[in-house]
Structure 1
Protein backbone atom coordinates (compact mmCIF):
# COMPACT_ATOMS: atom_id res chain seq x y z
CA UNK A 1 0.00 0.00 0.00
CA UNK A 2 1.23 3.46 -0.86
CA UNK A 3 2.46 5.73 1.89
CA UNK A 4 1.07 8.78 0.07
CA UNK A 5 -0.36 11.57 2.19
CA UNK A 6 -3.99 12.49 1.71
CA UNK A 7 -5.39 15.93 2.43
CA UNK A 8 -8.81 17.51 2.17
CA UNK A 9 -9.54 21.00 0.91
CA UNK A 10 -12.90 22.72 0.64
CA UNK A 11 -13.77 23.25 -3.03
CA UNK A 12 -14.33 26.79 -4.25
CA UNK A 13 -17.32 27.64 -6.45
CA UNK A 14 -14.98 27.99 -9.46
CA UNK A 15 -13.82 24.38 -8.89
CA UNK A 16 -17.31 22.86 -9.12
CA UNK A 17 -17.56 22.24 -12.90
CA UNK A 18 -14.33 20.19 -12.93
CA UNK A 19 -15.28 18.51 -9.63
CA UNK A 20 -18.66 17.45 -11.04
CA UNK A 21 -17.13 16.12 -14.26
CA UNK A 22 -14.52 14.05 -12.39
CA UNK A 23 -17.20 12.69 -10.04
CA UNK A 24 -19.48 11.71 -12.92
CA UNK A 25 -16.63 9.95 -14.72
CA UNK A 26 -15.76 8.01 -11.56
CA UNK A 27 -19.39 7.07 -10.81
CA UNK A 28 -20.08 6.08 -14.43
CA UNK A 29 -17.22 3.56 -14.60
CA UNK A 30 -18.85 0.81 -12.49
CA UNK A 31 -22.23 1.33 -14.19
CA UNK A 32 -20.62 0.93 -17.62
CA UNK A 33 -18.70 -2.11 -16.36
CA UNK A 34 -21.87 -3.73 -14.98
CA UNK A 35 -24.44 -2.74 -17.60
CA UNK A 36 -22.33 -1.96 -20.68
CA UNK A 37 -23.27 1.71 -20.89
CA UNK A 38 -25.24 4.60 -19.50
CA UNK A 39 -28.92 4.69 -20.38
CA UNK A 40 -29.78 8.26 -19.43
CA UNK A 41 -26.62 10.38 -19.42
CA UNK A 42 -24.26 11.12 -16.58
CA UNK A 43 -24.49 9.45 -13.18
CA UNK A 44 -25.35 11.23 -11.01
CA UNK A 45 -27.19 13.75 -13.14
CA UNK A 46 -26.19 17.40 -13.08
CA UNK A 47 -29.48 18.19 -11.29
CA UNK A 48 -28.80 15.56 -8.58
CA UNK A 49 -25.27 16.85 -8.12
CA UNK A 50 -26.46 20.44 -7.85
CA UNK A 51 -28.99 19.37 -5.19
CA UNK A 52 -26.29 17.56 -3.18
CA UNK A 53 -23.76 20.36 -3.46
CA UNK A 54 -26.35 23.03 -2.64
CA UNK A 55 -28.06 21.22 0.23
CA UNK A 56 -28.08 22.86 3.67
CA UNK A 57 -24.97 21.75 5.55
CA UNK A 58 -23.22 20.41 2.43
CA UNK A 59 -19.43 20.59 2.32
CA UNK A 60 -17.65 19.86 -0.96
CA UNK A 61 -14.12 18.54 -0.48
CA UNK A 62 -11.23 17.91 -2.84
CA UNK A 63 -9.13 14.87 -2.01
CA UNK A 64 -5.45 15.38 -2.77
CA UNK A 65 -2.52 13.01 -2.53
CA UNK A 66 0.94 14.51 -2.41
CA UNK A 67 -0.41 17.72 -3.95
CA UNK A 68 -2.33 16.03 -6.79
CA UNK A 69 -6.13 16.03 -6.94
CA UNK A 70 -7.23 12.37 -6.78
CA UNK A 71 -10.91 12.63 -5.91
CA UNK A 72 -13.54 14.35 -3.89
CA UNK A 73 -16.40 14.08 -1.46
CA UNK A 74 -19.65 15.78 -0.58
CA UNK A 75 -20.73 15.48 3.03
CA UNK A 76 -23.78 16.94 4.73
CA UNK A 77 -23.15 18.05 8.29
CA UNK A 78 -25.94 18.33 10.84
CA UNK A 79 -24.47 20.53 13.57
CA UNK A 80 -27.36 19.83 15.97
CA UNK A 81 -27.91 16.06 15.88
CA UNK A 82 -24.41 15.17 14.60
CA UNK A 83 -25.92 12.53 12.31
CA UNK A 84 -23.99 13.31 9.14
CA UNK A 85 -24.13 11.98 5.63
CA UNK A 86 -21.40 10.95 3.21
CA UNK A 87 -23.37 11.84 0.10
CA UNK A 88 -20.67 11.29 -2.51
CA UNK A 89 -17.11 9.96 -2.34
CA UNK A 90 -14.92 9.21 -5.31
CA UNK A 91 -11.34 8.47 -6.22
CA UNK A 92 -10.43 8.99 -9.87
CA UNK A 93 -10.21 5.60 -11.63
CA UNK A 94 -6.52 5.85 -12.55
CA UNK A 95 -5.42 5.70 -8.90
CA UNK A 96 -7.71 3.00 -7.44
CA UNK A 97 -6.17 0.27 -5.33
CA UNK A 98 -3.62 2.47 -3.54
CA UNK A 99 -5.47 2.96 -0.26
CA UNK A 100 -6.39 6.55 -1.08
CA UNK A 101 -10.12 6.04 -0.49
CA UNK A 102 -9.55 4.73 3.03
CA UNK A 103 -7.11 7.53 3.81
CA UNK A 104 -9.64 10.04 2.49
CA UNK A 105 -12.41 8.53 4.61
CA UNK A 106 -10.16 8.59 7.68
CA UNK A 107 -9.38 12.27 7.02
CA UNK A 108 -13.12 13.02 6.71
CA UNK A 109 -13.80 11.36 10.05
CA UNK A 110 -11.02 13.40 11.65
CA UNK A 111 -12.32 16.62 10.11
CA UNK A 112 -15.79 16.11 11.67
CA UNK A 113 -15.01 14.61 15.11
CA UNK A 114 -18.41 15.47 16.65
CA UNK A 115 -20.19 13.04 14.34
CA UNK A 116 -22.30 10.50 16.22
CA UNK A 117 -23.44 8.60 13.12
CA UNK A 118 -22.39 8.63 9.47
CA UNK A 119 -24.76 7.43 6.76
CA UNK A 120 -24.07 6.64 3.10
CA UNK A 121 -25.50 4.64 0.17
CA UNK A 122 -24.13 2.58 -2.69
CA UNK A 123 -25.66 0.51 -5.52
CA UNK A 124 -26.19 -3.20 -4.80
CA UNK A 125 -23.97 -4.29 -7.71
CA UNK A 126 -20.86 -2.32 -6.73
CA UNK A 127 -19.05 -4.99 -4.75
CA UNK A 128 -15.89 -2.90 -4.49
CA UNK A 129 -17.82 -0.13 -2.71
CA UNK A 130 -19.65 -2.57 -0.44
CA UNK A 131 -16.32 -4.15 0.55
CA UNK A 132 -14.82 -0.70 1.12
CA UNK A 133 -17.61 0.60 3.34
CA UNK A 134 -18.18 -2.59 5.35
CA UNK A 135 -14.75 -4.21 5.60
CA UNK A 136 -12.44 -1.21 5.44
CA UNK A 137 -14.39 1.68 6.98
CA UNK A 138 -16.56 -0.12 9.53
CA UNK A 139 -20.02 0.74 8.19
CA UNK A 140 -22.94 -1.65 8.62
CA UNK A 141 -25.64 -2.31 6.03
CA UNK A 142 -28.91 -1.25 7.64
CA UNK A 143 -31.37 -1.13 4.74
CA UNK A 144 -31.81 -2.29 1.15
CA UNK A 145 -33.86 -0.04 -1.11
CA UNK A 146 -35.48 -1.64 -4.15
CA UNK A 147 -38.74 -1.53 -6.09
CA UNK A 148 -40.56 -3.24 -3.21
CA UNK A 149 -38.97 -0.96 -0.60
CA UNK A 150 -38.19 2.43 -2.22
CA UNK A 151 -36.16 5.11 -0.52
CA UNK A 152 -38.63 7.78 0.61
CA UNK A 153 -36.42 10.72 -0.44
CA UNK A 154 -35.58 9.30 -3.90
CA UNK A 155 -38.21 6.69 -4.81
CA UNK A 156 -36.98 6.02 -8.37
CA UNK A 157 -33.27 5.72 -7.62
CA UNK A 158 -33.32 2.09 -6.51
CA UNK A 159 -35.22 1.12 -9.67
CA UNK A 160 -32.69 2.93 -11.84
CA UNK A 161 -29.73 1.05 -10.36
CA UNK A 162 -31.54 -2.15 -9.38
CA UNK A 163 -31.24 -1.49 -5.65
CA UNK A 164 -29.26 0.55 -3.15
CA UNK A 165 -27.78 -0.33 0.22
CA UNK A 166 -27.91 2.19 3.06
CA UNK A 167 -25.01 2.04 5.50
CA UNK A 168 -24.49 3.54 8.95
CA UNK A 169 -21.45 3.92 11.13
CA UNK A 170 -21.75 4.94 14.75
CA UNK A 171 -18.76 6.20 16.69
Structure 2
Protein backbone atom coordinates (compact mmCIF):
# COMPACT_ATOMS: atom_id res chain seq x y z
CA UNK A 1 0.00 0.00 0.00
CA UNK A 2 1.30 3.45 -0.90
CA UNK A 3 0.82 6.09 1.79
CA UNK A 4 0.22 9.60 0.51
CA UNK A 5 2.18 12.27 2.38
CA UNK A 6 -0.09 14.82 4.00
CA UNK A 7 0.94 18.45 4.13
CA UNK A 8 -0.17 19.93 7.44
CA UNK A 9 -0.25 23.70 7.86
CA UNK A 10 -1.64 26.27 10.27
CA UNK A 11 -3.97 29.10 9.30
CA UNK A 12 -5.09 31.87 11.64
CA UNK A 13 -8.74 31.79 12.66
CA UNK A 14 -10.47 35.01 11.64
CA UNK A 15 -13.04 36.69 13.86
CA UNK A 16 -15.88 35.71 11.53
CA UNK A 17 -14.79 32.02 11.74
CA UNK A 18 -14.80 31.78 15.55
CA UNK A 19 -18.32 30.41 15.93
CA UNK A 20 -17.73 27.53 13.52
CA UNK A 21 -14.28 26.91 15.04
CA UNK A 22 -15.81 26.79 18.53
CA UNK A 23 -18.44 24.29 17.36
CA UNK A 24 -15.82 21.98 15.85
CA UNK A 25 -13.79 22.17 19.05
CA UNK A 26 -16.85 21.31 21.16
CA UNK A 27 -17.74 18.40 18.89
CA UNK A 28 -14.25 16.93 19.13
CA UNK A 29 -14.18 17.13 22.92
CA UNK A 30 -17.79 16.01 23.39
CA UNK A 31 -17.24 12.98 21.13
CA UNK A 32 -14.40 11.85 23.42
CA UNK A 33 -16.55 12.22 26.55
CA UNK A 34 -19.47 10.34 24.97
CA UNK A 35 -17.14 7.56 23.85
CA UNK A 36 -15.89 7.13 27.42
CA UNK A 37 -19.01 7.82 29.50
CA UNK A 38 -21.98 7.34 27.19
CA UNK A 39 -24.51 9.67 25.64
CA UNK A 40 -25.63 11.44 28.81
CA UNK A 41 -22.72 13.12 30.49
CA UNK A 42 -24.26 16.23 32.03
CA UNK A 43 -23.28 19.65 30.83
CA UNK A 44 -21.40 20.26 27.57
CA UNK A 45 -17.65 19.77 27.80
CA UNK A 46 -16.12 22.18 27.26
CA UNK A 47 -18.69 24.85 28.02
CA UNK A 48 -19.25 27.82 25.73
CA UNK A 49 -18.05 30.05 28.57
CA UNK A 50 -14.76 28.15 28.95
CA UNK A 51 -14.06 28.28 25.24
CA UNK A 52 -15.06 31.90 24.70
CA UNK A 53 -13.17 33.15 27.74
CA UNK A 54 -10.03 31.40 26.52
CA UNK A 55 -10.43 32.91 23.05
CA UNK A 56 -10.53 36.38 24.57
CA UNK A 57 -7.62 36.05 26.99
CA UNK A 58 -4.54 38.14 26.37
CA UNK A 59 -1.97 36.75 23.92
CA UNK A 60 -4.24 34.03 22.51
CA UNK A 61 -3.64 32.74 19.01
CA UNK A 62 -6.20 30.54 17.25
CA UNK A 63 -5.27 28.29 14.33
CA UNK A 64 -7.12 26.07 11.93
CA UNK A 65 -5.13 22.91 11.28
CA UNK A 66 -5.18 22.14 7.56
CA UNK A 67 -4.26 18.88 5.86
CA UNK A 68 -3.61 19.33 2.16
CA UNK A 69 -5.49 22.62 2.42
CA UNK A 70 -8.59 21.18 4.11
CA UNK A 71 -9.56 22.09 7.69
CA UNK A 72 -9.19 19.03 9.94
CA UNK A 73 -8.77 20.51 13.42
CA UNK A 74 -7.59 23.45 15.44
CA UNK A 75 -5.31 24.80 18.13
CA UNK A 76 -5.62 27.62 20.64
CA UNK A 77 -2.32 28.85 22.05
CA UNK A 78 -1.44 31.37 24.74
CA UNK A 79 1.86 32.90 23.70
CA UNK A 80 3.99 34.76 26.24
CA UNK A 81 6.70 36.52 24.22
CA UNK A 82 8.36 37.83 27.39
CA UNK A 83 8.94 34.50 29.16
CA UNK A 84 8.64 32.17 26.13
CA UNK A 85 6.54 29.85 28.32
CA UNK A 86 3.55 29.04 26.13
CA UNK A 87 0.36 27.09 26.72
CA UNK A 88 -1.55 24.82 24.39
CA UNK A 89 -5.05 25.64 25.62
CA UNK A 90 -7.06 23.59 23.12
CA UNK A 91 -5.91 21.13 20.47
CA UNK A 92 -8.14 18.91 18.38
CA UNK A 93 -8.22 16.85 15.23
CA UNK A 94 -11.66 16.01 13.82
CA UNK A 95 -12.43 12.36 14.62
CA UNK A 96 -12.61 11.38 10.94
CA UNK A 97 -8.96 12.35 10.59
CA UNK A 98 -7.47 10.44 13.54
CA UNK A 99 -4.65 7.90 13.10
CA UNK A 100 -3.18 9.59 10.04
CA UNK A 101 -0.25 11.43 11.66
CA UNK A 102 -2.01 14.78 11.33
CA UNK A 103 -1.90 15.57 15.06
CA UNK A 104 1.85 15.04 15.30
CA UNK A 105 2.49 16.98 12.09
CA UNK A 106 0.30 19.81 13.43
CA UNK A 107 2.17 19.85 16.73
CA UNK A 108 5.49 19.96 14.84
CA UNK A 109 4.17 22.90 12.79
CA UNK A 110 3.25 24.70 16.02
CA UNK A 111 6.73 24.11 17.46
CA UNK A 112 8.30 25.36 14.22
CA UNK A 113 6.16 28.51 14.33
CA UNK A 114 7.53 29.38 17.79
CA UNK A 115 11.24 28.43 17.70
CA UNK A 116 12.20 30.64 20.68
CA UNK A 117 9.89 28.71 23.03
CA UNK A 118 11.45 27.60 26.29
CA UNK A 119 8.51 25.61 27.69
CA UNK A 120 5.18 24.37 26.37
CA UNK A 121 2.43 23.42 28.82
CA UNK A 122 -0.90 21.69 28.26
CA UNK A 123 -3.40 19.46 30.02
CA UNK A 124 -5.73 16.61 29.17
CA UNK A 125 -8.37 14.61 31.06
CA UNK A 126 -7.12 11.42 32.71
CA UNK A 127 -9.51 9.22 30.71
CA UNK A 128 -8.20 10.44 27.35
CA UNK A 129 -5.64 7.71 26.82
CA UNK A 130 -5.18 8.73 23.18
CA UNK A 131 -4.17 12.21 24.29
CA UNK A 132 -1.93 10.98 27.12
CA UNK A 133 -0.15 8.68 24.64
CA UNK A 134 0.10 11.50 22.11
CA UNK A 135 1.65 14.04 24.46
CA UNK A 136 3.99 11.61 26.25
CA UNK A 137 5.06 9.19 23.55
CA UNK A 138 4.72 11.19 20.36
CA UNK A 139 5.41 14.82 21.29
CA UNK A 140 7.91 14.43 24.15
CA UNK A 141 5.95 16.06 26.97
CA UNK A 142 6.27 14.95 30.60
CA UNK A 143 3.54 14.78 33.23
CA UNK A 144 4.12 17.42 35.90
CA UNK A 145 0.86 17.16 37.84
CA UNK A 146 -2.23 15.00 38.18
CA UNK A 147 -5.29 16.82 39.50
CA UNK A 148 -7.93 14.56 41.05
CA UNK A 149 -10.20 14.25 44.09
CA UNK A 150 -7.12 13.76 46.33
CA UNK A 151 -5.15 16.61 44.76
CA UNK A 152 -7.76 19.06 43.41
CA UNK A 153 -6.95 22.00 41.20
CA UNK A 154 -7.48 25.07 43.38
CA UNK A 155 -9.13 26.85 40.43
CA UNK A 156 -12.16 24.59 40.99
CA UNK A 157 -13.89 25.35 44.29
CA UNK A 158 -15.98 22.16 44.34
CA UNK A 159 -15.54 19.51 47.03
CA UNK A 160 -14.75 16.57 44.75
CA UNK A 161 -15.35 13.89 47.40
CA UNK A 162 -19.08 14.21 46.75
CA UNK A 163 -18.87 13.77 42.98
CA UNK A 164 -19.60 10.50 41.24
CA UNK A 165 -17.22 9.12 38.62
CA UNK A 166 -19.06 10.53 35.64
CA UNK A 167 -18.87 14.02 37.17
CA UNK A 168 -15.13 13.83 37.78
CA UNK A 169 -13.96 13.68 34.17
CA UNK A 170 -13.63 17.43 33.95
CA UNK A 171 -11.73 17.70 37.25
CA UNK A 172 -9.31 14.78 36.90
CA UNK A 173 -6.59 15.61 34.44
CA UNK A 174 -2.87 15.66 33.78
CA UNK A 175 -0.69 18.71 33.28
CA UNK A 176 2.13 18.20 30.80
CA UNK A 177 5.25 20.24 30.06
CA UNK A 178 7.79 20.08 27.31
CA UNK A 179 11.04 21.92 27.95
CA UNK A 180 12.45 23.16 24.66
CA UNK A 181 15.31 25.38 25.86
CA UNK A 182 16.82 26.13 29.22
TM category (shorter chain) comes to: over 0.9
Q: Distance in 2 between matches of 1:24 and 1:76?
A: 19
Q: Is this contact kept in 2: 1:62–1:72, CA < 8 A?
A: yes
Q: Is this contact kept in 2: 1:28–1:38, CA < 8 A?
A: no
Query: How far apart are 1:45 and its partner, in Å?
Result: 0.5
Q: Secondary structure at the match of 1:32?
A: helix
Q: Secondary structure at the match of 2:29?
A: helix
Query: How far apart are 1:160 and its partner, in Å?
Result: 3.5
Find the structure with the greater CA-based Rg. Answer: 2
Q: Distance in 2 between matches of 1:2 and 1:105?
A: 19
TM superposition outliers: structure 1 runs of 4+ over 4 Å: none
Unmatched segments (≥5 aa) in structure 1: none
How many residues matched? 170
Q: Does 1:169 align with 2:178?
A: yes
The normalised TM-score by structure 2 is 0.88
Q: Distance in 2 between matches of 1:95 and 1:79?
A: 32
Task: Output aligned runs, 1:13-162, within 5 Å.
Answer: 13-155=15-157, 160-161=168-169
Query: CA 1:38–1:117 in 2, change beyond 3 Å: closer, same or farther?
Result: farther
Q: Is this contact kept in 1: 2:13–2:62, CA < 8 A?
A: yes
Q: Is this contact kept in 2: 1:2–1:98, CA < 8 A?
A: no
Unmatched segments (≥5 aa) in structure 2: 161-166
**Cα RMSD for the two superposed structures:** 1.5
Query: How far apart are 1:2 and its partner, in Å?
Result: 4.7
Q: Distance in 2 between matches of 1:38 and 1:8?
A: 34
